[in-house]
Amino acid sequence: MGCGSCSSGGCGTPAGCNNNGSCGSGGCGKLSVFDWLAGMQPATGQASFDLVEIRFKNTRKEFYKNHEHLELHAGDRVAVEAASGYDIGIVSMTGALVKLQMDKKQVSYDSKEIKKIYRHATEEDIEMWTDAREQEAKTMLKARHIANELKLEMKIGDVEYQADKTKATFFYTADDRVDFRELIRVLADQFKVRIEMRQIGARQEAGRLGGIGSCGRELCCSTWLTDFRSVSTSAARYQQLSINPIKLAGQCGKLKCCLNYELETYVDALKDFPDNVSKLKTEKGRAFHFKTDIFKRTMWFTYEDAPDKLIPLSVDRVNEIIALNNDGKKVADLRDFVEEVVVVEEPDFENVVGQDSLTRFDNRGSNSGKKKRRKNRNRNNQNKPQGQKTQGENSNNPKPKQKQAQNKSNPRPPGQGKSQGQNRNKNKRRPQSESGNQKK
């Protein structure tokens, strides 16, 4: 019997995404963690770490204290302490890896704000938790309709119910400050629960909702990225990307977070490149900078009178020419500074065995038959004497096999003359002079 989150759905709950099974993250792979310290035992004399990381809906995670010393594993559903009542969460991390995560997020071990884990979740707790999760989508749509009626400049992106259905948290985004006191009164009267409004940014909203990026993969903010750093257009300029807001913006409307991934590598590679190189002075005229290949350390220049001819120069050569220009000297021609590039020929392994041919299996039988006939012919030539010819080599005697069989059945005695048809053909071949003498 499989669990509700597996593909078989053996526990009676449907499997798959959109949280219609027993998935606690609200989507597949949202901020999932691989515990690479799971198999390591604590050192002798060292107590086990009693803090546990619990994940809730979407990307919300918090640290809780296992004061009851329960045996917890990743994936267990537990009832935890809340501001009022209790909540249900899923264990995402245990052991020494939690300590590393707390050091990374600068959370104190002895903080009084760390809440406690009550118990393992019972079947009643899970049923109530499931009902609360099913009401969240309807509640969000009604809350959006109420906010529009009150003419509030805000967007409610997500709603999260507490497992005991005593509290609902509304996550919203807004450009300016919003007075939602009237909204809280209407929502509390409508849903009969305590209301909490929490403002989040555009990147946090995209992380909670999830989606597919332009790269074809799930959004980084919804799968693994938790540290949102500011992204500026200078990151695109360093990487020589076109400043196109449509292509550089993500689903949140902000610049893509992935622009910062390789920025440090580009900055280190650009340290040796000259700054603000627009033109070089030569005796043939001014040469203008056309483009740059950062990792090949090559810069291309063109003359004014020949803009279609590109001259590649290495960074060292360009710095050398700039130093001469600063001293008031001009070089004769940029082509004198072009370095010869040694091209290493790599073996071409494309289509080695004909794997790209769509008809390779159709021609396989005919080609193998030809190879077998060729091998048999060569073998017969090796076994025969040197003076004897094969049947295919004797071009003067192209007799069909049927005629040869007929001659064998009716052997001609030695000395017998030719047939009548052969004599008739012989008479046709005689010259006219001979035929005239016979008539005489």
CA 184-190-194 angle, to 5 degrees, is: 50
Q: What is the mean pLDDT of the chain?
A: 78
**DSSP letters for 26-53:** SSTTTT----TTTTPPPPTT-PPP-EEE
Tens digit of each residue's pLDDT (9 = 90 or more) over 228-287: 888 999 999 999 898 898 899 999 999 999 999 999 999 998 888 888 788 888 888 888
pLDDT at 333: 85
Q: Work out the average pLDDT over 103-113.
A: 85
Q: Work out the average pLDDT over 305-315.
A: 86
pLDDT at 380: 66
Burial letters for 184-195: b for 16+ Cβ neighbours within 10 Å, e otherwise? eebbeeebebbb
pLDDT at 388: 52
d(CA 41, CA 89): 26
- Cβ count near 432 (within 10 Å): 7
Tens digit of each residue's pLDDT (9 = 90 or more) over 284-299: 888 888 888 898 888 9
The confidence band for 131, taking pLDDT boundaries of 50, 70 and 90, is very high
Residue 389 has pLDDT above 70, yes or no: no
d(CA 430, CA 179): 125
Q: Are 167 and 84 in contact (CB under 8 A)?
A: yes
Residue 355 has pLDDT above 90, yes or no: no
pLDDT at 358: 64
In this prediction, what percent of the chain has a pLDDT beyond 70? 68
pLDDT at 49: 79
Tens digit of each residue's pLDDT (9 = 90 or more) over 33-81: 777 776 666 665 555 678 999 999 888 899 999 988 898 988 899 999 9
Burial class of 170 by CB neighbour count within 10 A (0 to 12, 13 to 18, 19+): buried
The pair of three-digit structure tokens given for residue 409, joined into one six-digit string: 């059945």
Residue 427 has pLDDT above 60, yes or no: no
The confidence band for 305, taking pLDDT boundaries of 50, 70 and 90, is confident
DSSP H or E segment with residue 157: strand 155-161
pLDDT at 361: 64
Residue 433 has pLDDT above 50, yes or no: no
Residue 10 has pLDDT above 70, yes or no: no
Tens digit of each residue's pLDDT (9 = 90 or more) over 156-199: 999 999 999 999 999 999 988 999 899 999 999 999 999 999 99
Tens digit of each residue's pLDDT (9 = 90 or more) over 206-224: 988 888 998 999 899 888 8
Which domains does the chain possess? 51-121 (no CATH), 131-206 (3.30.300.20), 229-271 (no CATH), 279-337 (no CATH)
pLDDT at 34: 75
